[in-house]
Amino acid sequence: MRTPTTIAALVAVAVLAAGCGRSGSGGEQASEGGGQKPAVSAGFGDLKDVCGPGSPAKSPAQGVTKDSIGVGVFSDVGFTKNPELADAAKVFTSWCNELGGVKGRKLVPHVRDTKMMEVRQRMLESCKQDFALVAGGAALDGMGTKDRLSCLLPDFPAQVSMVQNNGSDLQFGQTGGVSYNRYQGYWEWLLKDAYPGSKGSVGIISGDSPVTHVLGAQAREALTAMGGKIAYNDLYPAQGVSDWTPYAQSIKSKGVKGLIFYGDFTSLAKLEQILTGIGYKLDWIDANNNAYLPQFIKLAGPSLKFQNNFADLSGLQPLETAASNPATKKVQDLYKRYAPDAALTSVALRAFSAWLLFAKSAATCGDDLTRKCAYEAARKETAWTAGGLQAPVDLSKQDVPLACFNVEKATPEGWKPAGFKPDKGPYRCSAPAYKYTGDYGRPLTLADVGKSMNDLK
């Protein structure tokens, strides 16, 4: 993703960050409050004793003492007013520390509020204080990537956004390599399996920002390569649209059968209301996982009976199936205990995956906890599932295609798994790989700042 140059574009980035190149948002209220607190257990899905007691005696690295580990958690909360990353940090660290911390060291999260535009300032602060970055995300994250690499901060993000940062060195992304189309399996399912008649008339509409210009170009390349024909390609003002009728009429006049939407779910709901009002039904709408929220269901209302809305969760366990998945149920229980009024979202689940990866990796280092040790331990994970929160991903390689996907459909009753023929539990893990041929920029490396892995201590 690219850095926007106007406030309007910043708004677009803020709402797109989760759904475009990052893990998307979706969720439910964690608890109605009150009730008996569940017992604390050290197990997390199929992970055992990630956190627990110990007797460390050394202070082997910046941010690490014999008592604690200080980590940075990036967030745009001052701009977005969305505390989901801070909430996830509170819940995970409260649970982990109650069990004894990471081999006896308590986790101390430093929430770095970028307020959207202050990414570099927060990164410079983190470089002076934190051991690593864990379970955070910022829409303009690329603004701090050079500084992070210069000070050799490992990054275990919940979300990544800009192309400079997405897949950069010392980072553990979990939703596919930047060189590959992470939605290849999903879109091929839409075009070839579910709605083959839509292949000849696909449309793309995006909130206007440099971010979506890249996303749209990548989508056009990938869709064309799989035999799709782009019949409609349009932008809408990032600050919003007062009347969606001209856009709906244009979609109808072009005969669009499948529509990919890059933008905020509020705008999509308004567009769909107009499309439904003029009686135009598409075969499918890719709402993107930014819409995987109860709020979209409420806003879209009667349109959901008329239009077919889908979202790809990129191999994340759906929240509505938590009762049958111990890892997701565990997160729900922890939210009830430590943050009963917070909303549990799919972004929070991605954050938990990042926290678990960091804690497990750091624990293997014992008393001699260094950045190099934690980084190398995490890089050995060849089938990371976060205890069952997600489909397995190979973290030993930096840039690999995403093998598994899972599709949700929006219904008047809520989001539900679509009939996409999963072949591995709730996932379809036979997704084809498509590597982009266009030049969309590249993530930064240690070499770009005059360093190498030999400098990591």
So what's the pLDDT on residue 363? 98
What is d(CA 309, CA 368) in angstroms, rounded to the nearest whole number? 50
So what's the pLDDT on residue 391? 97
pTM (two decimals): 0.91
So what's the pLDDT on residue 141? 95
User: Of all residues in the chain, what percent carry a pLDDT higher than 70?
Assistant: 91
Contacts of 369 (CB under 8 A, 6+ apart): 56, 60, 61, 64, 69, 102, 103, 105, 131, 362
In a shared domain, residues 131 and 272: no
Summarize pLDDT for 15-43 with one digit per residue, the tens.
444 343 333 444 444 433 444 454 578 99
Summarize pLDDT for 362-389 with one digit per residue, the tens.
999 999 999 999 999 999 999 999 999 9
Whether 336 shows a pLDDT value over 70: the answer reads: yes
So what's the pLDDT on residue 175? 85
Q: Which of 360, 394, 428 is the last residue of a domain?
A: 394
In a shared domain, residues 90 and 190: no
Q: Is residue 203 part of a domain?
A: yes
Q: Is residue 75 part of a domain?
A: yes
In a shared domain, residues 171 and 288: no
Expressed as residue numbers, the domain containing 74 is 30-178+322-394
In a shared domain, residues 75 and 114: yes
In a shared domain, residues 368 and 285: no
User: Of all residues in the chain, what percent carry a pLDDT higher than 90?
Assistant: 85
- Residue 101: give its domain's CATH number: 3.40.50.2300
Indicate the number of domains in the chain: 2
Min mean pLDDT across 20-29, 260-269, 301-310 is at 20-29
Mean pLDDT, the chain, as a whole number? 91
In a shared domain, residues 78 and 135: yes
Average pLDDT over residues 204-211: 88
Average pLDDT over residues 452-456: 98
Q: Is residue 97 part of a domain?
A: yes
Average pLDDT over residues 349-356: 98
In a shared domain, residues 147 and 194: no
> What secondary structure, in 3-state letters, does the chain show?
CCCCCCHHHHHHHHHHCCCCCCCCCCEEECCCCCCCCCCCCCCECCECCCCCCCCCCCCCECCECCCEEEEEEEECHHHHCCCHHHHHHHHHHHHHHHCCCECCEEEEEEEEECCCCCHHHHHHHHHHHCCEEECCCCCCHHHHHHHHHHCCCCEECCCCCCCCCCCCCCECCCCCCCCECCCHHHHHHHHHHHCHHHCCCEEEEEECCHHHHHHHHHHHHHHHHCCCCEEEEEEECCCCCCCCHHHHHHHHHCCCCEEEEECCHHHHHHHHHHHHHCCCCCCEEECCHHHCCHHHHHHHCCHHHHCCEEEECCCECCHHHHHHCHHHHHHHHHHHHHCCCCEEEHHHHHHHHHHHHHHHHHHCCCCCCCHHHHHHHHHCCCCECCCCCECCECCCCCCCCCCCECEEEEECCEEEECCCCCCECCEECCCCCCECCCCCCCCCCHHHHCCCHHHCC
Higher pLDDT, 184 or 213: 184
Q: Is residue 12 part of a domain?
A: no
In a shared domain, residues 247 and 303: yes
In a shared domain, residues 300 and 330: no
Summarize pLDDT for 418-448 with one digit per residue, the tens.
999 999 999 999 899 999 999 999 999 999 9
So what's the pLDDT on residue 36? 47
Q: Is residue 5 part of a domain?
A: no
So what's the pLDDT on residue 37? 52
In a shared domain, residues 385 and 333: yes
Q: Is residue 437 part of a domain?
A: no
So what's the pLDDT on residue 21? 38
Average pLDDT over residues 311-331: 96
In a shared domain, residues 412 and 263: yes
In a shared domain, residues 145 and 290: no
So what's the pLDDT on residue 240? 86
Average pLDDT over residues 333-337: 97
Q: Is residue 93 part of a domain?
A: yes
Average pLDDT over residues 127-155: 97
Q: Is residue 212 part of a domain?
A: yes
